[in-house]
Amino acid sequence: MKLVNLSAMLVLAVILAASARSTVAADACDVCVCDGTTIDFCDTDVAAIPDNIPATTTILDLSYTQITQLPANAFATLTSLVLLDLSNTPLDTIDDAAFAGVSGLQFLDLSSAELTAVPTTAMASLTNLIQVDLSHNQITTIDANAFDGLSAIEILNLGGNSISSVSDDALMSLDALSVLDISGSELTAVPVAFLAPVASTLTTLDLSSSPIASVQHSDFEDLQSIELINLADTDLTDLPLGVFGDLPQLTTVHLAGVTFASTPAGMYGDADNVFVCDQACVTCHGFGPGACCVDGCLTCADVTGCSVCMDNTNVIYDGYCMTPANAEISATESIISASYASQSSVSAVTAKASKATLATISASVATVSAASVATVSRSAKSVASVTSAASASVASVASFVSATSAASASAVSASVAANNNNNNNDDDDDSERNGIIIGVVIGGVALLAIIIGASVYMSRRRNMSESKSSEVINMHEVK
């Protein structure tokens, strides 16, 4: 019996010793890895802040330990501390003076712990904080002035906290805030008033995995520095046209996991993978400013192929959206333009033909003139020796030429009159070309008459010569 009692006492002693070791702080470098000014890789069964942490420590990683609370002055001797990581611990209590003495701290990670509220008072002295991670805790409300005095914070992660209520003044002191993550919340709408104090500095906003069912243009219009908005895995079913249109710095909108009935206006892609149009576009068919649809077009296949107009009372004409009245005017103008183009084409062909005809006539006249001149030159001496005989012939030729010229002139005049009657609307260029052609024709006819007259004269001269020769022969025979 005494032996049994002794064994029970030994077991109890072992249990108590183990319990004491788990609650009493151990020497830091015995339970963690100390490497210069960095302390990390602490034993997972450490349940309290270790003792004897070197005063020169700049990085203290106590993640994945069993620490549940931070007492006052827990890090008071660590005046050089820059980063403190207490993530993935059962931490649920932080004394208001827990961070006293570490005002130089810049990075604080309290994610995946069991906090139910933002430790506002405890953090108030950490005026040099740049990044704070409070994600995946049990925080449901962000109270007014929750981050009072923390004007240096640039990155704030509140994601995964099932937040359902946020004060309009919660972010009032965060003058430098650039990245805000409130994903995984219970918010059903974009918290516009909550975002207002940081609207001018915010570049990244994560609202993913929230039951937000709709968004409006006014939800984002004040975020003039925003570059990325994450709306992935929300309850959105559509996006209003131009909802992101007035955000000059916006480059990325995440919509993965959002199911749209069709591609929202102002976006491109398919219902499962949609992308925001370039800022230069109201609507588009693809990436970049060169893929914009024409004005007034809701959807298009390319830059000129509008398929649906924004205003359903408009109609599509030649790839553009316009009122029915304007479409009718455009159609009429198109017909007139086509008619004018056709008339211009006919005029060009006529002018070309006229020039060709003129060139042909000129060449013919030149050929005839050259031949005539050669003939006249060869006959010049003969004409001089029989001047008296030629006088009568020339008179006859002159009469013939005169008559021929008169007849030609009459014919030409009749032709001109007929032409004028049929072409009262021809322009000055056609009249000028007709005048040139008529002049050439008259000259050609006159020249032809001269040639005929000269031929008649030469024929008579030969007949006269033959007659004189016969007379001489007869006289010799008589003698």
**pLDDT of amino acid 410:** 45
**pLDDT of amino acid 456:** 60
DSSP 8-state secondary structure symbol assigned to residue 291: G
Task: Give me the mean pLDDT over the 337-363 stretch.
Answer: 56
Contacting residues for 186 by C-beta, under 8 A, at least 6 apart: 140, 162, 163, 164, 210, 211
Q: Higher model confidence: residue 68 or residue 367?
A: 68
CB atoms near residue 5 (< 10 Å): 9
> Is residue 304 in some structural domain?
no
**328 pLDDT above the threshold of 90:** no
Kind of pairing between the strands at 59-61 and 83-85: parallel
> Do the Cβ atoms of 435 and 352 come closer than 8 Å?
no
Range in 93-102, 345-354, 439-448 with the lowest mean pLDDT: 345-354
**145 pLDDT above the threshold of 60:** yes
Q: pLDDT tens digit string along 385-396?
A: 433 433 343 344
Q: pLDDT tens digit string along 200-230?
A: 999 999 999 999 999 999 999 999 999 999 9
Amino acid at 268: Y
> Is residue 457 in some structural domain?
yes
**pLDDT of amino acid 404:** 39
Report d(CA 29, CA 54) in Å as an integer: 9
Q: Higher model confidence: residue 277 or residue 400?
A: 277
Report d(CA 236, CA 207) in Å as an integer: 12
DSSP 8-state secondary structure symbol assigned to residue 264: P
**319 pLDDT above the threshold of 60:** yes
Bridge partners for 228 per DSSP: 204, 252
Q: Higher model confidence: residue 292 or residue 456?
A: 292
Q: How confident is the model at residue 7 (pLDDT cuts 50, 70, 90)?
A: low
**pLDDT of amino acid 373:** 37
> Is residue 214 in some structural domain?
no
Q: How confident is the model at residue 34 (pLDDT cuts 50, 70, 90)?
A: very high
Instruction: Record the tokens describing residue 373, joined without a space.
Output: 């001149």
> Is residue 414 in some structural domain?
yes
Decide: residue 412, CB within 10 A, 0-12 exposed, 13-18 middle, 19+ buried.
middle
Q: How many domains does the chain have?
A: 1
Range in 249-258, 332-341, 384-393 with the lowest mean pLDDT: 384-393
> Do the Cβ atoms of 275 and 269 come closer than 8 Å?
yes
> Is residue 371 in some structural domain?
yes
Q: How confident is the model at residue 258 (pLDDT cuts 50, 70, 90)?
A: very high
Q: How confident is the model at residue 340 (pLDDT cuts 50, 70, 90)?
A: low
Report d(CA 178, CA 107) in Å as an integer: 15
**304 pLDDT above the threshold of 50:** yes
**pLDDT of amino acid 451:** 73
**21 pLDDT above the threshold of 60:** no
Report d(CA 311, CA 415) in Å as an integer: 61
Expressed as residue numbers, the domain containing 468 is 324-419+430-478
CA–CA–CA angle 286, 275, 242 (5° rounding): 90
> Is residue 237 in some structural domain?
no
> Is residue 118 in some structural domain?
no
> Is residue 299 in some structural domain?
no
Q: How confident is the model at residue 341 (pLDDT cuts 50, 70, 90)?
A: low
For tokens 């007259």, the residue is 453
Average pLDDT, the chain: 78
**91 pLDDT above the threshold of 80:** yes
Q: Higher model confidence: residue 280 or residue 415?
A: 280
**414 pLDDT above the threshold of 60:** no
Q: Higher model confidence: residue 29 or residue 328?
A: 29
Question: What's the Cα-to-Cα distance from 379 to each of 184, 401, 446, 450, 461, rounded to whole Å?
Answer: 118, 19, 20, 14, 11
Share of the chain above pLDDT 70, in %: 66
**pLDDT of amino acid 245:** 83
Within 13 A of 208's CA, how many CA atoms are on the CB side?
A: 18
Q: pLDDT tens digit string along 147-164?
A: 999 999 999 999 999 999
